[in-house]
């Protein structure tokens, strides 16, 4: 575990060009918490809860409904018969004040402030990773999904990935089962990151490099899940193509499988295997697992929150 102070260095995130849009679209941010409408429910929000955050125990007085709506943790603490429930006070001594304030901003608005995670013309992934860690500890599924979406969008819009120090936050403070772990490995596997991994002067988290090697060596479901597969059959021999995985010629005398997104074709055997190697692909249209509707299926959690449309 790296020390808390070293988790907040100036970001070294690779950034090739200025992004045109740094904010996740508003409809993406707001759809996560569909059953709560602050405009209509605010008038019924009379009860307050007190939170004491960080080593200095900074005091926040927050609408109780906001906390219990979003967070299983606060529901258990504030609705229970324990000291927290009786006093309506919860202490979070090890949480960072900055990260907690980002959570509060999201809890009231269902949006993230891009200025918080894009600093000095670079993505500050460490801010989002700390927020994901807090959302995990407070059991806030909607925020975890939104942070994952925001990291996906930032990575594409700025053509960047996490820095070595970010991988320490990811591996030392976020559980191994968290979908964000898979997303980050996929970003490195499907984006062109060989030079970055080879030449970056800082150390990557050792478990991260091990996981990445395994991901690149072993056929993975995500490499097929990212496609939108449909039945495909060439009309003539001139239209026949090779399977994108095994190169078998796909003739006009049978049904094969194609992707309606990137137009890759597959033989039935490879499509049924549902696994392929994760590799960087250069091309006009490339299916990335974190783009479009497949992102929900591959990475989102929807136990507490409504499915994405």
Cα atoms in the 13 Å half-sphere on the side-chain side of 240: 14
143 binds Zn ion (CB under 5 A): no
Strands 256-259 and 265-266: antiparallel
DSSP state letter for 50? E
100 Cβ contact list (under 8 Å, min separation 6): 51, 53, 54, 60, 92, 134
Q: How far is the CB of 223 from Zn ion (least distance, A)?
A: 10
Q: CA 159 to CA 153: how far, in whole Å?
A: 10
Q: How far is the CB of 296 from Zn ion (least distance, A)?
A: 3
Considering only the stretches 6-14, 187-195, 230-238, 254-262, report the one whose residues sit in contact with Zn ion under the rule CB under 5 A.
254-262
Considering only the stretches 6-14, 40-48, 178-186, 259-267, report the one whose residues sit in contact with Zn ion under the rule CB under 5 A.
259-267
32 binds Zn ion (CB under 5 A): no
- Contacting Zn ion (CB under 5 A), which of 69, 227, 265, 288? 227
Residue at token pair 């295997």: 273
Q: How far is the CB of 169 from Zn ion (least distance, A)?
A: 24
- Other beta carbons within 10 angstroms of residue 82's beta carbon come to 11
> SS3 helix, strand, coil % of the chain, rounded to 5?
45, 10, 45
Considering only the stretches 48-56, 57-65, 134-142, 255-263, report the one whose residues sit in contact with Zn ion under the rule CB under 5 A.
255-263
Q: Closest Cα to residue 134, out of 84, 110, 169? A: 169
Q: Closest Cα to residue 63, out of 71, 9, 55? A: 71
Q: Is 190 exposed, middle or buried (0-12, 13-18, 19+ CB in 10 A)?
A: buried
306 binds Zn ion (CB under 5 A): no
62 binds Zn ion (CB under 5 A): no
191 binds Zn ion (CB under 5 A): no
271 binds Zn ion (CB under 5 A): no
- Other beta carbons within 10 angstroms of residue 109's beta carbon come to 12
287 binds Zn ion (CB under 5 A): yes
58 binds Zn ion (CB under 5 A): no
Task: Indicate if the alpha-carbon torsion angle 14, 18, 23, 25 is positive or negative.
Answer: negative
Q: How far is the CB of 226 from Zn ion (least distance, A)?
A: 6
270 binds Zn ion (CB under 5 A): yes
267 binds Zn ion (CB under 5 A): yes
Q: Closest Cα to residue 55, out of 97, 93, 101? A: 93
Task: Count residues near Zn ion (CB under 5 A).
Answer: 14
- Contacting Zn ion (CB under 5 A), which of 51, 78, 148, 243? 243
Residue at token pair 């200095």: 56
Contact 161, 187 (CB under 8 A): yes
246 binds Zn ion (CB under 5 A): yes
286 binds Zn ion (CB under 5 A): no
- Contacting Zn ion (CB under 5 A), which of 62, 262, 273, 298? 262
Considering only the stretches 17-25, 41-49, 90-98, 268-276, report the one whose residues sit in contact with Zn ion under the rule CB under 5 A.
268-276
162 binds Zn ion (CB under 5 A): no
273 binds Zn ion (CB under 5 A): no
Please identify, using beta-carbon distances, which residue of 124 and 151 lies nearer to Zn ion: 151
Please identify, using beta-carbon distances, which residue of 124 and 245 lies nearer to Zn ion: 245
Which positions touch Zn ion (CB under 5 A)? 227, 243, 245-246, 248, 259, 261-262, 267, 270, 287, 296, 300, 308
């Amino acid at each position: 575990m790296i020390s808390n102070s070293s988790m907040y260095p100036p970001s070294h995130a690779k950034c090739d060009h200025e992004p045109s849009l740094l904010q996740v679209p508003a409809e993406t941010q707001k759809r996560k918490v569909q059953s709560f409408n602050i405009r209509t429910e605010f008038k019924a929000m009379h009860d307050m809860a007190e939170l004491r955050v960080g080593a200095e125990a900074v005091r926040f007085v927050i609408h109780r409904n906001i906390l219990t709506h979003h967070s299983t943790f606060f529901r258990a603490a504030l609705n229970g018969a324990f000291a927290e429930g009786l006093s309506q006070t919860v202490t979070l001594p090890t949480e960072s004040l900055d990260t907690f304030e980002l959570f509060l901003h999201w809890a009231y608005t269902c949006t993230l402030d891009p200025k918080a995670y894009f600093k000095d013309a670079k993505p500050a992934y460490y801010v989002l990773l700390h927020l994901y860690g807090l959302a995990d500890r407070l059991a806030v599924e909607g925020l975890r999904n939104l942070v994952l979406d925001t990291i996906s969008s930032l990575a594409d819009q700025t053509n960047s990935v996490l820095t070595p120090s970010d991988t320490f936050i990811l591996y030392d403070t976020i559980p191994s089962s968290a979908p964000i772990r898979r997303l980050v490995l996929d970003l490195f596997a499907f984006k062109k990151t060989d030079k970055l991994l080879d030449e970056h002067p800082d150390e990557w988290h050792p478990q991260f490099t091990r996981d990445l090697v395994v991901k690149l060596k072993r056929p993975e479901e995500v490499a097929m899940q990212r496609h939108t597969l449909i039945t495909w059959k060439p009309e003539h021999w001139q239209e026949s193509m090779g399977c994108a995985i095994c190169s078998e010629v796909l003739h006009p005398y049978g049904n094969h499988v194609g992707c309606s997104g990137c137009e890759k074709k597959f033989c039935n055997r490879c499509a049924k295997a549902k696994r392929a190697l994760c590799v960087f692909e250069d091309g006009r249209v490339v299916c990335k697992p974190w783009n479009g509707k497949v992102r929900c299926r591959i990475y989102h959690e929807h136990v507490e929150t409504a499915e994405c449309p």
